[in-house]
């Protein structure tokens, strides 16, 4: 006789269900661990050490620092759950930091948080959780997940200001069926209230704001550390191909940037294109930033192709709004996106994530990397 599904959609009672909770030391993942423990699940907390803390990093508002690891350990002790620390500095450097640096040097605007989720956090943590015979891997991401017939679909969180589905578009179908996101139906203040009721010392801990290995948002300093020869002067050109100035290195610029161009013109100038092969940037007026057509590569599809027969919604930056669009799948790896309305500052290296609205909310259909 089948038992009823438990709160995470598994056909077991909580006391017979083992879950791994990815604990970063912040309020969200700590609250999730507490919620699972309170419901009676067998909880194993795992914290990843991803990089070696320098003084600048330790002092900035970032996740996964040495202080965060200690906070996660204290929360695990408070909840009386098993806690493991995994040391993944080399994997993180190879899979995330090196990719971040290389992407910037190609004139792209990378998203290391997606790479981290795709590689170290989900790929390796997924394997560790399986080795521990866990029934599910639980995280504190603000994403809704609905599991039916052993298939899990991902939706935007109720708290749209906290929604993190954009960063998880590259999750594989196998990973998604194993992952659970209990905070997707909560507002941030509700999460903090639960943490207070659980008497967790991180209930009022500020959220991390910076990329974990980038002290105070200073991307250039990270690139200089790993590629000290990358700051090479080059030409600044207008749309007619005329040289109108000189820059100190393409890594100082992103698409849509105005600051730092240091060239006078009758209208403010913005970075329109970064040509890494020629070490040059192309600038022009703000009107030239508007785009309606986007080419994508390296797709990850979480839905059937028929869901793309009609207009859907896309998101082209983590802080951007949903944009109505028609997505034409060239094949399983490439797509052409036609926006209904123009959008400024679309940059290679960023993700374009697909959504479709249904009766539950905005379901994530997958996405791809912006090529141009």
**Which of 127, 149, 129 is CA-nearest to residue 137?**
129
pTM above 0.75, yes or no: yes
Does domain 231-288 fall under CATH 2.30.30.280? My reply is yes
pLDDT tens per residue across span 251-277: 889 999 999 898 988 889 999 999 999
What is residue 56's predicted lDDT score, i.e. its pLDDT? 43
Task: Check pLDDT > 90 for residue 231.
Answer: no
Query: Range with the lowest mean pLDDT among 131-135, 239-243, 259-263, 361-365?
Result: 259-263
pLDDT tens per residue across span 142-186: 999 887 777 889 999 999 999 999 999 999 999 999 999 999 999
**In the chain, % of residues over pLDDT 90:** 66
Q: Which residue has the higher pLDDT, 109 or 187?
A: 187
CB 286 within 8 A of CB 344: yes
Which CATH number describes the domain made up of 14-217? 3.40.50.620
Ranges in the chain annotated CATH 2.30.30.280: 231-288
What is residue 58's predicted lDDT score, i.e. its pLDDT? 45
CATH class of the domain at 290-370: mainly beta
Query: Per-residue confidence at 208, pLDDT binned at 50, 70, 90?
Result: confident
**Which of 159, 151, 146, 154 is CA-nearest to residue 185?**
159
Q: Which token pair is 171? A: 């999750």
Ranges in the chain annotated CATH 2.40.30.10: 290-370
What is residue 62's predicted lDDT score, i.e. its pLDDT? 52
Pairing mode, strands 143-148 and 280-284: unpaired
Q: Which residues contact 336 (CB under 8 A, 6 or more apart)?
A: 293, 294, 295, 296, 327, 328, 330
Task: Check pLDDT > 90 for residue 120.
Answer: no
What is residue 65's predicted lDDT score, i.e. its pLDDT? 60
* Alpha-carbon span 356 to 365, nearest angstrom: 7
Sign of CA dihedral 187, 191, 196, 202: negative
* Alpha-carbon span 219 to 75, nearest angstrom: 32
* Alpha-carbon span 265 to 281, nearest angstrom: 16
Q: What torsion, rounded to 10 degrees, do the Cα atoms 130, 136, 137, 138 define?
A: -160
Q: Which token pair is 300? A: 């990850």
The Cβ of residue 318 has, within 10 Å, a number of other Cβ atoms equal to: 15
What is residue 54's predicted lDDT score, i.e. its pLDDT? 55
Ranges in the chain annotated CATH 3.40.50.620: 14-217
Task: Check pLDDT > 90 for residue 80.
Answer: yes
Segment holding 341, helix H or strand E: strand 335-343
* Alpha-carbon span 253 to 270, nearest angstrom: 10
The Cβ of residue 111 has, within 10 Å, a number of other Cβ atoms equal to: 21
The Cβ of residue 188 has, within 10 Å, a number of other Cβ atoms equal to: 16
pLDDT tens per residue across span 55-70: 444 444 455 567 889 9
Burial 138-169 (b: 16+ CB within 10 A, else e): bbbbbbbbebeeeebbbbbbbbeebbbbbbbb
* Alpha-carbon span 11 to 3, nearest angstrom: 6
What is residue 209's predicted lDDT score, i.e. its pLDDT? 65
Active site amino acids: 116, 212
Q: 317's torsion region: left (phi>0), alpha (psi -120 to 50) or beta?
A: beta
Q: Which token pair is 132? A: 């521990």
pLDDT tens per residue across span 3-50: 688 999 899 999 999 999 999 999 999 999 999 999 999 999 999 988
Question: How many residues are listed for the chain in this entry?
Answer: 372
């Amino acid at each position: 006789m089948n038992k009823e599904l438990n709160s995470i959609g598994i056909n077991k009672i909580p006391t017979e269900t083992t879950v791994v909770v990815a604990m970063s030391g912040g309020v969200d993942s700590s609250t999730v661990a507490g919620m699972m423990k309170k419901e009676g699940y067998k909880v194993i907390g795992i914290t990843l050490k991803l990089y070696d803390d320098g003084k600048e990093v330790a002092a900035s508002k970032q996740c996964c620092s040495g202080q965060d690891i200690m906070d996660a350990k204290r929360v695990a002790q408070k909840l009386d759950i098993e806690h493991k620390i995994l040391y993944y500095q080399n994997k993180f450097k190879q899979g995330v930091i090196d990719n971040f640096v290389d992407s910037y040097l190609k004139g792209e605007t990378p998203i290391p948080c997606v790479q981290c989720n795709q590689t170290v956090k989900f790929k390796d943590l997924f394997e560790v959780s399986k080795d521990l015979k866990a029934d599910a891997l639980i995280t504190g991401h603000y994403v809704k997940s609905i599991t039916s017939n052993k298939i899990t679909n991902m939706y935007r969180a109720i708290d749209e200001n906290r929604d993190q589905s954009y960063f998880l578009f590259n999750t594989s179908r196998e990973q998604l069926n194993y992952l659970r996101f209990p905070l997707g139906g909560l507002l941030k203040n509700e999460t903090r209230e639960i943490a207070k009721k659980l008497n967790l010392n991180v209930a009022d801990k500020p959220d991390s704001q910076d990329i974990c290995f980038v002290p105070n948002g200073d991307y250039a300093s990270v690139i200089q550390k790993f590629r000290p020869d990358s700051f090479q002067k080059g030409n600044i050109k207008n749309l007619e191909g005329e040289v109108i100035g000189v820059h100190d290195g393409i890594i100082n610029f992103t698409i849509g940037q105005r600051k730092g161009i240091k060239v006078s013109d009758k209208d403010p100038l913005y970075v329109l294109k970064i040509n890494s092969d020629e070490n040059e940037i192309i600038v022009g007026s703000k009107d030239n930033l508007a785009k309606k057509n986007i080419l994508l590569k390296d797709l990850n599809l979480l839905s059937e192709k028929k869901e793309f027969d009609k207009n859907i919604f896309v998101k082209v930056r983590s802080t951007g709004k949903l944009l109505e669009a028609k997505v034409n799948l060239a094949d399983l790896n490439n797509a052409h996106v036609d926006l209904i309305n123009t959008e400024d500052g679309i940059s290679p290296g960023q993700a374009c994530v697909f959504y479709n609205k249904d009766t539950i909310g905005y379901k994530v259909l997958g996405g791809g990397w912006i090529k141009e």
